[in-house]
Structure 1
């Protein structure tokens, strides 16, 4: 078998529709575009959002809100997820990334108090909810907020 003798499998290649090639083709005359109208003309594409000259929806609706430049997105980790760590171990962003709980070390991490913690852990994160702090301290662990 040589490369110059290779052929596609039978029935796998379909011929394209040849439009506007006379009445015998079955796609002659209007070339599958119907009769007249904007869509039948050359260059007759209509931009997305165009409503025929009517004021478009995105211009009829009011502009609302803004995103503050100082906004910080936090990666959320719940206490029940911290149960995967061994007792008396240190939990920081690097260890959370290693466990697959946080995507990257560049993320700011917030620990939330969903679930219970039965182990003593040294947890350092960007932010803690009050309930998470209380539960970690009640389990005999320590809390350290990093900036």
Structure 2
């Protein structure tokens, strides 16, 4: 094989359409733009999504979904993640130090998920009923 013999497969590369080169070229006179109107002119077309004054599709369809701004500030912690923590006192600072919750979290919430058998003291963190029962069953305490 030689570099000068390499070529793409036949008909895999389509030649560019050269408009405005006369009637015999197939795209003469108006060059496939029709007659008059905004689309016939040079210098751009219209805004993306503009439908000629008709109510655009993105405004005709109903709004879907909701993104909570609170969600970014409240972190959820599983009991199984809590078991990996060093020390016996669990508060927001300890959770941030252990990279269990993100640094921008303002609040945390412990949920009952996974096994837990460690006596810890939970301070200033919201718990679900199941999580509170699991911590107290393991010999831990919950402080408000």
Give the TM-score taking structure 2 as reference length.
0.62
- Offset of residue 27 of structure 1: 6.2
Q: Identify unmatched segments of 5+ residues in structure 2.
A: 1-16, 22-30
Question: Structure 1 residues 127 and 56, CA, compared in 2 at 3 Å: closer, same or farther?
Answer: same
Quote how far apart the aligned CAs of 1:40 are.
6.0
Contact 1:117 1:135 in 2 (8 A): yes
Q: Give the alignment of 1:18-97 within 5 angstroms.
A: 29=20, 35-36=32-33, 38=38, 41-62=41-62, 72-73=70-71, 74-86=74-86, 89-97=88-96
| 2:137 matched residue in structure 1 | 138
CA contact (8 A) 2:92 2:125 kept: no
Distance 1:72 1:48, change over 3 A: same
- Residue 29 of structure 1 deviates from its aligned partner by 4.4
| Aligned counterparts of 1:41 and 1:125: Cα–Cα separation in 2 | 67
Q: 1:131 deviation in Å? A: 0.4
Structure 1 range deviating more: 71-80 or 115-124: 71-80
- Per-residue CA deviation, residues 1-39 of structure 1 (Å, 9 max, x unaligned), is xxxxxxxxxxxxxxxxxxxxxxxxx96748xxx632655
5+ unaligned residues in a row in structure 1: which ranges? 1-25
How many residues were matched structurally?
114
Residue pair 2:91, 2:125 contacting (<8 A) in 1 also: no
